[in-house]
Amino acid sequence: MKIIYEDKDLLVVDKPAGLETTEMIEILSKEKPGLEKIHRLDKDTSGVNLIAKSPEALIFFQKQFKNREIEKKYTALVAGNIKDDSGRIETLIGRAPKEKKKQKAYLPFGPKSEGKRDAITDYRVLERYGSYTLLEVSPKTGRKHQIRCHMVYLGHPIIGDKMYGFKGQSCPKGLNRQFLHASSIKVRMPDNNYKEFKSDLAEDLKEVIENL
């Protein structure tokens, strides 16, 4: 696991795919005790992951997530050719009926809107590859599986996503997981200066793009 940044308050890790955030913290805690999860990435999502090094730091950074002050950007490869070069998805998100592990997008003010939480995701096209589109995705809220759920709602699920992908969906050669990478996070530090932490696209995802 590559350490992107570290000081007395914060540890920023380039999380590999195939590892839960909590599992990663357990491994790191053997040499760096007292680590706390600020936010999580899905198991098969790689990229920038913030970890607090003290209870005070945990409260400080989690408050920014709660207040939607964090700027996050992801790189995603989705199915199909998205019509618009950029856009915003605004829905409610809640648990999918009869599927406890899965989330679903709901229309605001619809008959099933009660108890659901608002979710906003911006996106812009980086590149088009015929039957695939490469996106920069910026979630403005932090709902579980938000990007994956919103891409399905848009009709363009993330390539390689076994939970949310369409049945029979094509997949580029060599891709063994969902094509979703946390490429950058911008936060306010305890000294009130802002820092942006970046992660290059993971090697397996780079190879997929090169082949396309």
Catalytic residue list: 42
CA distance 130 to 140: 28
> 199-203 long-range contacts, Cβ below 8 Å, gap at least 24?
199/4, 199/14, 199/46, 199/47, 199/48, 201/75, 202/16, 202/17, 202/46, 202/47
Pairing label, strands 46-52, 180-188 = parallel
| Secondary element (H or E) of residue 146 | helix 146-154
Find all residues with CB under 8 Å of 168, minimum gap 6, and list them. none
Distances (CA, A) of 131 to 41, 59, 109, 127, 164: 27, 43, 34, 11, 18
Rounded Cα distance, 175 and 149, in Å: 20
Torsion 71-77-80-83 (CA) sign = positive
